Structure 1
Amino acid sequence: MRAAKGVWRWRHNPLRRTTDLFEAWVALVAALLLVTAAPAVGWAAGTLTDESLRAAVRIQRQQRHPVTATVLKPAPAPKPAPYDPESSAAHQKRRPVIARWTAVDGSRHTGTVSAVLRTTLAGDTFTIWTDRAGRVVSHPLDAATARVHAVLAGIGAALTAAGLITCARRLVVRRLVRRRYARLDEAWAAAGPDWGRTGAGS
């Protein structure tokens, strides 16, 4: 709104310079792009990300299967790095155990896996995710998490577009200001030597 008022104000102003009107138009175009283009870019990025993640969720649901594993015995815990608090927190939540499980293809497996268990007694059961061959894989991406990632991607794209538009406007305005100063210096250099002299026309 302010940019539109600026364009209207400079239309018939006798002191208007060409760069003044151009700057007002640049501000108006930038404002329109911020209102229309930036949200459109965010919506498009969010939609594309959502479609891609939904496809990933479907594929992971087809390729990964929950199976029940049985604890055979606790496994020696790896020592977390003393400077890594995240590693220590994860170590407190998950415990490595030696367990056996049967894959969806009927094959039987034994190995060391991490389990979220209060106790690691032999015979305890818990759920792990494997592929059809029985190899342990991570938990598949759920739809809610995919939706959150898509929203964040859309917001990030919109903010990036808005930042680029703002930077472009500032660069244009900066060049206009430099051009004004250059012309002012030229005019002053032309009028400067005769400034204030009688009969010099100044």
Structure 2
Amino acid sequence: MRAIAGIWHWRHNPLRRRTDRWEAWLALAAALLIAVGAPCAGWFTGRAAHGALLEAVRLQRQQRHVVWATVDRPAAATPADPNPESAAQHDVHLRVIAHWPGPGGGRRTGEVTAPRPVEAGDRFRMWADEQGRAATRPMDEGTAATHAVLAGLGSAAAAGGLVEGGRRLAVRQLMARRFRRWDAAWARAGQDWGRADAGS
């Protein structure tokens, strides 16, 4: 509202230049786009992301299931990270070689991460896909909603940043044009500007 009032009063100012008017209108347009366009972009992006993520949740729940795995032995591999405080070092004792039932009554064997410290012969639940391969836990709807909100916020921030960046670039061009006109006006005035005997 202040921008509108400023433009209305500025248009009657005898010192205003065309670039001043353009700059004021650019500020108003940018303010409106940021206030209305950025939230709309964020809402549409968040909604689209939420729909896509809910579809991914549905597919993951359809394609993954829980199986019981039996520990054969601890995994021999050690993580490449030498830092003893890293998550990889903390989880190294949870990596085991285990077997679990595969599709059609077969048996799958592989290196997996147990949910707790286990020994040979212990059983634990894990997720497997349709081919019987070890899989991660399916995404839940709460995580999907969180990711969609973050996508929407990121999109709104990016849209606002683009609008503000465009406004700043346009104002910079207007300022360069204004300075070029000033330089041309000073060049026309010549070196005698303000001298008493120059007739000015």
The two structures have a TM-score, normalised by structure 1, of 0.89
Residue identity (%): 51
Q: Which residue of 1 aligns with 2:37?
A: 37
CA deviations on 1:48-91 (whole Å, 9 max, x unpaired) are: 11111111111111111111112233332424421583422443
Matches within 5 A, 1:21-36: 21-36=21-36
CA deviations on 1:91-120 (whole Å, 9 max, x unpaired) are: 36xx122322223543222333210223x2
Residue 180 to residue 137, structure 1, CA distance change in 2 (3 Å): same
Q: Which amino acid aligns with 1:114?
A: T
Contact 2:26 2:167 in 1 (8 A): yes
Q: CA deviation at 1:136?
A: 1.3
Whole-Å separation in 1 of the counterparts to 2:152 and 2:199: 62
Q: Which amino acid aligns with 2:110?
A: G
Q: Which amino acid aligns with 1:63?
A: Q
Whole-Å separation in 2 of the counterparts to 1:144 and 1:91: 29
Pairing partner for 1:181 from 174, 179, 182: 179
Q: Which residue of 2 aligns with 1:64?
A: 64
Instruction: Could you list the structure 1 runs, at least 4 aligned residues long, displaced by more than 6 angstroms after superposition.
Output: none
Q: Which runs of 5+ in 2 are unaligned?
A: none
Q: CA deviation at 1:176?
A: 0.9
Q: Which residue of 1 aligns with 2:161?
A: 163
- Higher alpha-carbon deviation: 82-91 or 166-175: 82-91
Whole-Å separation in 2 of the counterparts to 1:101 and 1:67: 7
- Higher alpha-carbon deviation: 23-32 or 77-86: 77-86
Q: Quick check: 1:151 aligned with 2:120? A: no
Q: Which amino acid aligns with 1:158?
A: A
Pairing partner for 2:137 from 128, 136, 139: 139
Whole-Å separation in 1 of the counterparts to 2:57 and 2:47: 15
Q: Which residue of 2 aligns with 1:91?
A: 92
- Higher alpha-carbon deviation: 75-84 or 14-23: 75-84
Q: Which amino acid aligns with 1:176?
A: L
Aligned CA RMSD, in angstroms, stands at 2.0
Q: Which residue of 2 aligns with 1:2?
A: 2
Whole-Å separation in 1 of the counterparts to 2:19 and 2:119: 79
Q: Which runs of 5+ in 1 are unaligned?
A: none
Q: Quick check: 1:100 aligned with 2:99? A: yes
Q: CA deviation at 1:199?
A: 6.5
Whole-Å separation in 2 of the counterparts to 1:145 and 1:97: 28
